[in-house]
Amino acid sequence: MNQNSTTPATGWWRHAVIYQVYPRSFADGNGDGMGDLAGIRERLPYLKDLGVDAVWLSPFYASPQADAGYDVADYRAIDPMFGDLSDAEALLRDARELGLRTIVDVVPNHCSDQHEWFKRAVAEGPGSTLRERFHFRKGRGENGEEPPNDWESIFGGPAWTRLPDGEWYLHLFAPQQPDFNWEHPAVQDEFRSILRFWLDLGVDGFRVDVAHGLVKAAGLPDMGHAEQLKLLGNQELPFFDQDGVHEIYRSWRKVLDEYAGERIAVAEAWTPSADRTALYLRPDELHQAFNFHYLNAGWNAEELREVIDASLDAMRPVGAPTTWVLSNHDVVRHRTRLGGGLPRARAAALLMLALPGSAYVYQGEELGLPEVTDLPDEVRQDPSFFKENGQEGLRDGCRVPLPWSGTEAPYGFGTGGSWLPQPAEWASLSVAAQTGDPDSTLELYRTALAVRREHPALGAGDAVEWRPAPEGVLHFRRAGGFSCAVNTTAEAVRLSVPGRPLLSSGALPQEIPGRPGTYELAADTAVWWAE
């Protein structure tokens, strides 16, 4: 058994708060305007002080960057824009010394068209055995001029591209991202080897990109409809959430269990229901899955309660922790998406951190950053922005580099500007501007994470006890003397609570004179209570 990690067994992922770093936008260590591993390493103490348990790094592998690194050319090499392998090793070492665990992306559904396997498969032509590691097919029509089936790319347009030799290859995303054929044993062997390579370097786990997409329905049948696919969608499709993926993850779990220190895997799995998501988390498969059903819920008490109950109910039978997430690199930042501005975003954060299980924080949400909606077309890099009838193509707005300090861009991001322009109003949202201000969103997150870490009722768990509350208000208790109340309405409401307010996303509520135990809860406000 590998002994790179000597941390005693804790089930740490069951309660962890995991911070997503989008490497090109976190911190620039060499002054070229692009974030890198050296910049991340320098800012690790900030994450330790914030109070998170682990850091998840989006891809930093060698890549032509057709899709921001999710088109991997070499899974064992660092792209020069981010540094080199020694930088990765130093980052892992420093994180471990700070008590931070590190999770890295693995991208198994597809690679780059510049991956050595795919380049050789194209060069060798039809009939090449290397083509069997991908999905090459002859086209339909009299001369094979039509795609092999009616599958659509997530980024818009057909999911097939034809080569000059007449054959078509499958890419569920960009044409530069050919899908692997996971029925081929060489693909399965290669990825087990890739997992071991990074586990040997000391990573604590993997976020599995498009975990639901590896296996396609036998015969690659038509969808039978012309519906454009949605990123983070839940459609039932012949190339997503096929039962065959589970055998793959059982083999991965065996690899993870070879290593000491509780190494984990987190599924990015778009499924039709929480119950389908839970199948990825059976005891011999993966450890966590992103809760996209919660992320997609609106700011509505009834809808939120239904999603919370469904999520907890689905995870309980498989013994997996529920995860909670509000923002990531693929969706509009929740301060903007939920409407209601910063007060609502702060309330949503306290609600998320009060729920049982593990929570994910996307870089910058702790600063209360809004979505940048006015980026000029010429700076955008999201591949779906350039596709007709594709996604909204606006993912760049949540990927604008972070403001660290100063009154002018790039706000301490680095000495060489930033690859996407930062808004002028971000000066007041920088880490330096908010540090020490008790009313700032950064200090709210720091306080909430400290309370969450110390309070025995918070973190791991699989249930909440709902309490009576006015319409539009969520009120639940966690075993151990803690409750959370959230007013999702536009009006203040009165609420009876057997306890004292511990932390609030807004002004701390005051007891109403003459009404012991009754408080007024402001609009778009969440409050933690000690009972």
Opening angle at CA 345, ends 323 and 306, nearest 5: 45
Catalytic entry in 87, 152, 209, 524: 209
To the query of whether residue 471 is one of the catalytic residues in this protein, the response is: no
The dihedral built from the CA positions of residue 326, 332, 335 and 336, taken in this order, carries a sign that is: negative
Comparing C-alpha atoms, which of 268, 135, 154 is closest to residue 212?
A: 268
Instruction: Write out the DSSP string of 468-523.
Output: ---TTEEEEEETTTEEEEEE-SSS-EEEE-SSEEEEESSSPP-BPTT-TTEEEEPT
* Residue 374 bears catalytic tag: no
Instruction: Considering only the C-alpha atoms of the chain, give the largest distance between any 2 of them, rounded to a whole number of Å.
Output: 85
Q: Which two tokens stand for residue 425?
A: 């109003």
What Rg do the C-alpha atoms of the chain give, in angstroms?
23
| Helical ranges in 108-217 per DSSP H | 116-124, 185-201
Q: Nearest to residue 180, comparing CAs of 223, 139, 210?
A: 210
- In degrees, rounded to 5, the angle at the alpha carbon of residue 444 between the alpha carbons of residues 441 and 445 is 90
Q: Which of 258, 306, 437, 465 is catalytic?
A: 258
Burial status of residue 186 (CB atoms within 10 A of its CB: 0-12, 13-18, 19 or more): middle
Instruction: Enter the tokens of residue 32.
Output: 């070229």
Terminal Cα distance for the chain, rounded: 45
| Bridge partners of residue 508, in order along the sequence | none
Which residues are marked as active site? 209, 258
